[in-house]
Structure 1
Amino acid sequence: MSLFSKLKEGLNKTRQNLTQRLGTLLAASSRLDDDFFDELEEILLTADVGAKTSLELVERLRQEVKARKITDPAAVGTFLQEEVTRLLGEEVPRLSWAPSPPTVILVVGVNGAGKTTTIGKLAYQLGREGKKVILAAADTFRAAAGEQLAIWAGRAGASLIRHQAGADPAAVVYDALQSARNRRADVVLVDTAGRLQTKVNLMEELKKIRRVIERELPGAPHEVLLVLDATTGQNALSQARLFSEAAGVTGIVLTKLDGTAKGGVVLAIAAEMGIPVKLVGLGEGLDDLKEFQPRDFAAALFSGLAGDKEE
């Protein structure tokens, strides 16, 4: 199955929530008046595009309609797809790599977002590319975190550095970096705790981990990936703000996109945070963590409205 087809399938619930309602609006409207724009904004809000981003999209559409003297509502679908592509960026946002190994990727996010699973899938994919991967189990507070990561290390053929429960997470990261040097590893993937109920402690812990990484390997971490659960909608946006302040997030991994009607949150994150979505989770399989393709995402989201073609 092509990535476009996978995205189209994964975005089915979001598309039903957004595109089908939009199609109904376009079919029922004879003119582009205030009522049309108000209903369009409501449709965007329901798909968790967010208040600020929804308003900006509708305002841009108003301006475009006026400037081009557009009267046919059917033209709106094409315009929205173009705007979504522009919002997400034309270029595919790739992962950053160190000039010379090891590349350090710090992975953050709340418990339950799919952080450890994402690390496991990424390690598996990197291993298949011939890269030597080390996993750092720096979530030392959640009892099952180390065991879960050990299972993924086995599947991915990666090495695992872990300490006993309750150990200092920064010490785990330090040992992982030393091990990466000694073993000439290509990549270090760092799993971290995600206890939002103790925000201050969690954020201080993340800052300490960053300091250790920066001290031991100048220029690292080369990526700070925030894993967000797409089903949480606008809560994902508040998490993005919180973790960005503490960890300097460079990219988003959006998981469970195949199980939500709230996929519009991708647009809110891109517009309001300026942080690119770099990877998306589209299923449970080892190969279902995919590189984010903005143009494919927009085309899949609006397929059936702005031209339903397979690619």
Structure 2
Amino acid sequence: MNHDRLTVVIAAYNEADSLPALQPRIAAVLDALARDGVDGQVLYVDDGSQDATWAVMQQLAAADRRIALLRLSRNFGKELALTAGLDRVEEGAALILDADGQDPPELIPQFVAKWREGFDDVHGTRMGREGEGWLKRATAHTFYRVIGALSKTPIPADTGDFRLLSERALHALQQLRERHRFMKGLFGWVGFNRVAIAYHREPRVAGRSKFNLWRLWNLALEGITSFSTAPLRLATYLGLLSALVAFLYGVAIIVKALLWGDPVAGWPTMMSVILFLGGVQLIALGVIGEYLGRLYDEAKQRPLYLVDSWQPARTVLPAQRLGEGDRVQRLRGSAVD
């Protein structure tokens, strides 16, 4: 296993303001690691940004030979952008870092030290989340506890994408090609030797977060449905409970009619029962639809992402593996030939 090569993978979407402030911090860390015998580089992934992010990346790459650039054909979302970047890492470990600077790159040497001790998944666990509102902190805290209780896959609480993956963990992750990707769950599914490093998350260095409450809700829904069938079971139990309540209520009505009669039609009661049962049915159908929609997307077998531009680092590196987009283009070219 190669413990001398490290690639820092950063997926960015409209982060033109934050990258110039982040890159000098990463460069200083890579310089320090080089003195310890670690050959480091940075891989920036532009996830279809609409601002000057790509131009900023090209400027950074022109100033530092250790920077490689990957541009996707459009915005595929953070999970797929990370997948595209990790697919390009062939040798050594990969360290995932957010483009907003909230996860301090100065901690990278601690991650590398644990990696050299033999750990395959070194992840940062947040002890504090500075610069974030109480609502976001509360919902994030609740989400990690809920998915930890529902999922059989170990997903560490208060742990995001800030982590280092060894070469064998990375190659195992590259075999998972599902379309609906919840990366925190996939990291846990791979397993191997894992260790946490506690840290305090910093405020953003610039710009605004691209994850509003709606997008965070959808990400939470993605995670729960990707790594747990508990919602389906809950719908089943809710249906059974509703049927039991309806049966007991029906027996009570029959007994009441036989003993005392029922001269007055129970319009409010009837409407309450109908609306309650109708709501339960719609909830169950919605839950089933979420899982069915994921099966539909998997059945189409579309590539996870498409690559617009690839600019390797200007250092001596081994040949990089083709990404999903490159495979599609090669197949098309072969068909034409």
Give the TM-score, by structure 1 length.
0.29
Select the structure with the greater relative contact order (CA < 8 A; seq sep ≥ 6). 1
Q: Which has the larger radius of gyration?
A: 2
